[in-house]
Amino acid sequence: MSKTSVNTLDVLYAVGGVISAPFWARKQRGGWSERFGNTAALPAPRRPRVLLHAVSVGEVNALRQVVPVLAESCEVVVCATTDTGLKRAADLFAANHAVVRYPLDFSRSVAKFLDAVRPDVVGLVELEVWPNFVGACVARGIPVGVVNGRLSARSFKGYRRIRGVIGRTFRALSFAAVQDSDYAERFLAMGVAKERLSITGSMKWDAAKIEDGVAGAEDLARALKIDRSKPLIVAGSTGPDEEALLHAACPAEVQLLCAPRKPERFEEAAAAMPECVRRSKPGSGRPASGRFLLDSIGELRQAYSLATLVVVGRSFGDQYGSDPIEPIALGRPTLIGPAVSDFASIVREFEGAGGIARTDRGSLAADLARWIADEAGRAGLTERGRACIRSNQGASARHAGMLAEWACRAAAARTCSGGSGDSGRG
């Protein structure tokens, strides 16, 4: 096992953890032993080994297409940070691939983790450039870089303030494969060398599953007692105040189902929709009210497939938007509000293709009524949106090819230098 001494960052992390304890301790988290690097050692690799790190559910889902392509030539290990991300990774990949928890960025935790996993190359999904982790990979000769990279204007503003500290980590990246030119400019500004930067598109387009029906959707409708003869607006990943906004704007005789992004907001959302039927409480509410609350995890896709019209949440306040790809892939006409900075490039692609409609707080009620009444308009929106998805697919194969090349090169170098599956990276 590698011996790693405590560094300045470790001290800062420890102090920060103590100060912020009242905040993070409010939410129950599991896997603390693994968070400190106590990962069960994986068997020695028989092929080049790629470690893919995805923070939470959204990043894990983006790997659905890249993992099987990459597995044709490499061993794949998937790791995640959050409990929900780890569960999703296990559901998707554990049958065929190792799934582990990403460690906290303490130097000893990182060292133990890398000793256990022994990757030939590391791909950090979207943006997870922790200094100790990247530094440890570099020290061990493990190429590490960003795949499906994105750096929003908001995140860039924060990173730029601490560029003197974090810039060294960006400069240490072996590669950065980013989604679009805006992100590329920000990665360059943070210190990534131009020759290590490439624009490869977004893997989220590839993760989109275009289908007209979803198993379990009608069961969900029956459980909630949704009237399938009436129009239904589904608002997915809603944020603070949006349930009340949608409740007030929803046209008469149109049903509304809201699915809050965060479980801790379920009670607040229920209060904003009087007499709503709650998924978690059979027999609750009054179905005739036409208001439904999806206070469960993992059923949003089924809800989307029931919709006459979808509204993308976290786009009417200060929450920076949510991903509109899934409902559009399911053939559901989709509206989104003005706040979309976290998904700006995706929304821009849809808008350019005429595959999504924009709205805001002032026009929401009128826009909902107009689109509910315009069946032909909804059909056109759906058709153009799906065409946009198809035209943007292919990034997963590009990322898989790049990662496989890095892994094979690193594994060959390790073999030539006399290393083995049990040494040379630990």
Could you tell me the two tokens for 196?
A: 């290590």
Residues 163, 190: Cα–Cα separation, whole Å: 7
* pLDDT one-digit tens code per residue, 248-286: 999 999 999 999 999 999 999 999 999 999 999 999 999
Cβ atoms 147, 399 nearer than 8 A: yes
Look-up of token digits 């979803």: 214
Cα–Cα distance measured from residue 8 to residue 267, given in angstroms and rounded to the nearest whole number: 42
pLDDT (0 to 100) of residue 30 = 75
- Whether 29-208+394-416 shares its CATH topology with 217-391 is answered yes
Domain residue ranges in the chain: 29-208+394-416, 217-391
What pLDDT is attached to residue 420? 47
Q: What is the dihedral of CA 396, 132, 120, 147, to 10 degrees?
A: 10
What are the pLDDT tens digits along the chain (426 aa)?
Answer: 445 666 778 777 776 766 765 665 556 677 889 988 999 999 999 999 999 999 998 899 999 999 999 999 999 999 999 998 999 999 999 999 999 999 999 999 999 999 999 999 999 999 889 999 999 999 999 999 999 999 988 889 999 998 988 999 999 999 999 999 999 999 999 999 999 999 999 999 998 999 998 999 999 999 999 999 999 999 999 999 999 999 999 999 999 999 999 999 999 999 999 999 999 999 999 999 999 999 998 899 999 999 999 999 999 999 999 999 999 999 999 999 999 998 988 999 999 999 999 999 999 999 999 999 999 999 999 999 999 999 999 999 999 999 999 999 988 887 766 554 443 454
Helices and strands (H, E) in the chain, number of each type? 20, 14
For 91, what's the count of Cα atoms within 13 Å in the CB-facing half-sphere?
10
| 198 closest CA partner among 153, 147, 233 | 147
Task: Report whether 156 contacts 135 (CB < 8 A).
Answer: no
Closest alpha carbon to 114 in 38, 171, 168: 38
CATH fold for the domain made of 29-208+394-416: Rossmann fold (3.40.50)
State the CATH architecture for 217-391.
Answer: 3-Layer(aba) Sandwich (3.40)
Burial class (CB in 10 A: 0-12, 13-18, 19+), 252: exposed
Q: Which amino acid is at 348?
A: R
CA atoms of 330 and 212, how far apart (whole Å) = 6
Residues 367-393: tens digit of each pLDDT: 999 999 999 999 999 999 999 999 999
pLDDT for residue 145? 97
